[in-house]
Structure 1
């Protein structure tokens, strides 16, 4: 089994549960701690990627450039990475990030819209960057069709393509089937990645299943810091890998200490599986819809679970956060 490449998303996906309010100092402190703990890549951006700060997604406490400034010079092992969504970030944003020391980027699209990433993947490769394709809401596409979307990203130049369970809705067999479908269609030189949310408490289990079937790039975050019930908790994943005697570069105790001493105290809303976050995975709804739905439920006297179920019924996906209030108003009518 190839040594797994551990990518931390505490400073990107982990923006969501605190409303993108990390300070520049907190980002720097966590990036240095993660690097010293041996993670292979650290992703930094607004929760919705570079240039994600907006009325729709929420404005950050700092800009992407303030968060990224001076980080690359502090890293001794980890690769500095970021994420962009076509239609939100531009190639100019990516060039600026590259000039600030970002070496790797994930291009994120809905699981049926890989063609919207072609220009960005090709542009990132021209900049000499390591490029990952990031197929979000992977449960909304069949294994075969998802693999065909992955092929589009590979042909555009992606070095790796991810099965991205943005809703935390995939079961273990679902993950296995998608990884196997990727292996059947992608070139052996193209890596496969896995990004799991923890809404059904399967984040770590699904990550391990993906690894056992061929995924080599594994996403996780400290305390699971991320949208909804969070991501696969990094310190738990590393503990499991240790128990399995899988070789990696991470120091478990350093990650545990950083998770407990620095990250957990930042959580205004606990990142955990509870009534609302479980409903995300159960209904198959985009994890970052959580706080938007909770606010709408409180304002209009609705049950958050009912809003989430209605969003799922309508097939709403990432980028439609501004429609959640409209859905709540429709439900009142």
Structure 2
């Protein structure tokens, strides 16, 4: 089996859990420990990527360029990675990140909008960075559509393309179908990013590896949006048991997990009712708060709102739809009374 490369996402996806309040000192400490444990890629940005610190997405305690610089100073052989969502992050942000020490970018788009990644991938390659495509909400498109979009990213020069289960909605068969099809048609590496809303993150990651994915994501203590991501320390232990080489020292990762649990994690990363329903419905974790507000306003169940949003394949940026759906459900209740 090919070498498996893990990207640790706690300092990016985990930023959602701490309301984007990571300090340079925390980032420096965690990065140093991850590097010494042999983690090859460490992602550091605002939870919504470069340029995410804003009124809309939440202000960071420190500018993400400062956090990237702090990480790069102690990263050793590990490569500092950044996430960039076109429309939030810009070419200017990407160049700033490179100057601060980032050497890898994951350009993230909705699964049907890979075309907006072209200039960002091309710019990253011109800078000498590794550039990966990151197809968010991959559960919401057919395997054939995912392949179509992945091929676009490959044509722009991406070194790998990730199937991204942003809502934690995928079943193992969903992962298998998508990774297998991409592996059969792409000439670049395949990656997989999981969320644990249905308690399937580790299982789905193993399926992805078995189908040919060589780039996988993990997060210490499951630190990530929703119910978190694939738990790094668990995944490393399982892969060790399976004889799959990652080059990561399990005991050092376990020691770091103890530190994160005691000093960073604000609460246990459980699968709450809200997280579970988001995975069941297949919607972004950011929708939960808006659905709860709309439900209280019009007197309906937030879970019904989330399920209906999932049926409509609503994506980030369409939050205005939430109140419309809530009102529709309320009208239906009145009509059936």
Task: Give the TM-score category using the shorter length.
Answer: over 0.9
Q: CA deviation at 1:262?
A: 2.0
Q: TM-score, normalised on structure 2?
A: 0.92
Deviations 1:153-172 (A, max 9, x none): 00000000000000111111
Alpha-carbon distance in structure 1 between the residues aligned to 2:327 and 2:87: 27
> Unaligned 5+ residue runs, structure 1?
none
User: Corresponding residue for 1:202?
Assistant: 200
User: Corresponding residue for 2:180?
Assistant: 180
Q: Secondary structure at the match of 1:318?
A: coil
Select the residue among 303, 308, 314 that pairs with 2:306.
308
User: Corresponding residue for 1:97?
Assistant: 97
Contact 1:227 1:290 in 2 (8 A): no
Q: Closer, same or farther in 2 for the Cα pair 1:227/1:291, shift >3 Å? A: farther
Alpha-carbon distance in structure 2 between the residues aligned to 1:259 and 1:323: 39
Q: Secondary structure at the match of 1:215?
A: coil
Q: Does 1:6 align with 2:33?
A: no
Q: Does 1:219 align with 2:208?
A: no
Q: CA deviation at 1:322?
A: 6.4
Deviates more, 1:312-321 or 1:91-100: 312-321
Alignment of 1:175-324 (within 5 A): 175-187=175-187, 190-263=188-261, 265-294=263-292, 303-321=301-319, 324=322
Alpha-carbon distance in structure 2 between the residues aligned to 1:301 and 1:21: 34
Q: Closer, same or farther in 2 for the Cα pair 1:302/1:55, shift >3 Å? A: farther
User: Corresponding residue for 1:113?
Assistant: 113
Q: Closer, same or farther in 2 for the Cα pair 1:218/1:28, shift >3 Å? A: same
Alpha-carbon distance in structure 1 between the residues aligned to 2:153 and 2:215: 16
Contact 1:168 1:287 in 2 (8 A): no
User: Corresponding residue for 2:164?
Assistant: 164
Alpha-carbon distance in structure 1 between the residues aligned to 2:265 and 2:288: 15
User: Corresponding residue for 2:150?
Assistant: 150
Q: CA deviation at 1:184?
A: 2.1
Deviates more, 1:65-74 or 1:127-136: 65-74
Alpha-carbon distance in structure 1 between the residues aligned to 2:169 and 2:30: 29
Deviates more, 1:283-292 or 1:232-241: 283-292
Alpha-carbon distance in structure 1 between the residues aligned to 2:297 and 2:222: 28
Alpha-carbon distance in structure 1 between the residues aligned to 2:14 and 2:89: 19
Alignment of 1:60-139 (within 5 A): 60-139=60-139
Alpha-carbon distance in structure 1 between the residues aligned to 2:57 and 2:93: 18
Q: Closer, same or farther in 2 for the Cα pair 1:320/1:53, shift >3 Å? A: farther
Q: Aligned residue pairs: how many?
A: 331
Q: Secondary structure at the match of 1:257?
A: helix
Q: Secondary structure at the match of 1:70?
A: helix
Larger radius of gyration: 2
Alpha-carbon distance in structure 1 between the residues aligned to 2:290 and 2:120: 29
> Unaligned 5+ residue runs, structure 2?
332-337
